[in-house]
Amino acid sequence: MSNPYSWLNKSLDTIHRANWYRSVKAIASKPGAVIELEGKPVINFASNDYLGLASDQRLIDAAVAATQAYGTGSTGSRLLSGHKELHRELEQAIAALKQTEDALVFSSGYLANLGTISALVGQQDLIVGDRYNHSSLKKGAILSGAAAINYLHNDLVDLQDKLINHRALYRRCLIATDSVFSMDGDLCLLPELLAIAEEFACMLLVDEAHATGVMGSTGAGCVEHYNCTGKTLIQVGTLSKALGSLGGYVAGSAELIDFLRNRAATWIYTTALSPADTAAALTGIEIVQQEPHRKEQLWHNINYLKQRLSHLELLPSQSPILCLQLDTPKTALNLAQRLIGAGIFAPAIRPPTVPTSRIRLSLMATHEQHHLEMLIENLDRYWSYGNQKNIKS
Ligand SMILES: *Cc1c(COP(=O)(O)O)cnc(C)c1O
């Protein structure tokens, strides 16, 4: 008899040969601009903790106090025994930040997308999504059973073509996009997408995971950045990036949220967010609103680094995510390896996560000038040693 698991080994072999293999690396310190990675301090350009809140003492204290008061686990789903006033306070804080009627918190951003998309559309419906959308939007589309079509990245003509050809064949239609594209750092074209959604009678879902706390004058996200606050749309996001905690959310009309409480399976059939995560996220939102200097420092760092790296092949970015393009997975891995040797953690991102290999840098408000100088120096050194490709001509 053949071994029914033998394909696993073959499959892993293929992954290795393509240089697609990944493994985890343990971080032995608190989050921050400098972390301890495999026993060694490195400057961290790989974190989503844009404002440095994940190690903020006030979030830690809030999590500890909530744990003391309510325990470690929520013990049940929100609709059964898991709901606490703290969850509602967090939802109201999210709705206030986003200036929406209501919000709903999920156990993660990934689950928020799976649950929301699969509740909003089904087999008679259509989803049209940006080709570069986050995995959670794509998997949500598959889970929903709707017909799913991708349009070329940020290509409004292609989106309109797809809608002209397909929209009339379906009942409901959802356009879905990241607002800050997580592996590229550019933004969706929100005002145009809103206009197209209206023209073709589509719902619009934007994933603000990398934008909340980072974009817009109060940190509300790209919707605010584009002056689209108050427009009818579905905003999804995470509590796990700039807000420094864990969890996801959906913000929108009272009707939408009421509907999701009754139909989003990843909210109904899972345990409520833990007291610690809930309280930390609530404190994170308060700090975003009360301490705008954090966001200002982040943007100062972004603008400075972009200007100093302007001679390299950077992907277009309007966010803390800056990507250096490289030809092959191998060159990207080599550069990442060298940087680690120099005490800089800037990971290589390769297919199949993205279509082309790159070093992905993400900036934080807590990066200091000398951290940025170290990075610049090491990149310049790499490119001056005959690695002339990927320098702009
Ligand atoms: C990180 C991310 C998510 C997932 O959020 P989690 O809370 O980490 O599950 C969803 N969408 C986008 C665009 C993301 O970048």
What gap in Å lies between CA 40 and CA 33, rounded to an integer?
A: 14
Structure tokens, 20: 């697609």
Contact at 8 Å (CB) between 288 and 87? no
Which amino acid is present at 112?
A
What gap in Å lies between CA 97 and CA 147, rounded to an integer?
A: 33
134 Cβ below 6 A of ligand 1: yes
State the closest ligand 1 atom to the C-alpha of 133, by its place in the atom list counted from 1. 13
Residue nearest to atom 1 of ligand 1 (CA): 209
Cα(133) to ligand 1 centroid in Å equals: 11
| Helix/strand/coil for 364 | coil
Structure tokens, 110: 């990934």
What's the pLDDT at 20? 79
Residues 6+ apart with CB under 8 A from 300: none
Give the number of other Cβ atoms within 10 Å of residue 116's Cβ.
33
Give residue-wise pLDDT tens across range 34-73.
Answer: 999 988 999 999 999 999 999 999 999 999 999 999 999 9
Q: Does the pLDDT value for residue 355 go beyond 90?
A: no
What's the pLDDT at 318? 97
What gap in Å lies between CA 8 and CA 278, rounded to an integer?
A: 38
138 Cβ below 6 A of ligand 1: no
209 Cβ below 6 A of ligand 1: yes
Q: Does the pLDDT value for residue 393 go beyond 60?
A: no
| Helix/strand/coil for 185 | coil
What gap in Å lies between CA 71 and CA 66, rounded to an integer?
A: 7
Domains and CATH numbers, the chain: 24-55+292-392 (3.90.1150.10), 74-273 (3.40.640.10)
Helix (H) or strand (E) holding 297: helix 292-308
State the closest ligand 1 atom to the C-alpha of 134, by its place in the atom list counted from 1. 13
Q: Does the pLDDT value for residue 389 go beyond 70?
A: no
- Which residue in 144, 162, 232, 148 sits closest to 190, CA to CA? 232
Give residue-wise pLDDT tens across range 142-184.
Answer: 999 999 999 999 999 999 999 999 999 999 999 999 999 999 9
140 Cβ below 6 A of ligand 1: no
What's the pLDDT at 386? 61
Give the range among 37-51, 122-136, 302-316, 342-356 with minimum mean pLDDT: 342-356
What's the pLDDT at 390? 59
Share of the chain above pLDDT 70, in %: 98
Helix (H) or strand (E) holding 359: strand 358-362
Which residue is associated with the tokens 């008061």? Answer: 69
For residue 323, give Cα distances in angstroms to 77, 145, 148, 186, 312.
40, 34, 28, 10, 10
Give residue-wise pLDDT tens across range 70-113.
Answer: 999 999 999 999 999 999 999 999 999 999 999 999 999 999 99
- Which residue in 272, 258, 249 sits closest to 77, CA to CA? 272
What's the pLDDT at 18? 84
What's the pLDDT at 392? 61
Give residue-wise pLDDT tens across range 180-239.
Answer: 999 999 999 999 999 999 999 999 999 999 999 999 999 999 999 999 999 999 999 999
Cα(45) to ligand 1 centroid in Å equals: 18
Structure tokens, 206: 């934007």
Give residue-wise pLDDT tens across range 18-34.
Answer: 877 888 889 989 999 99
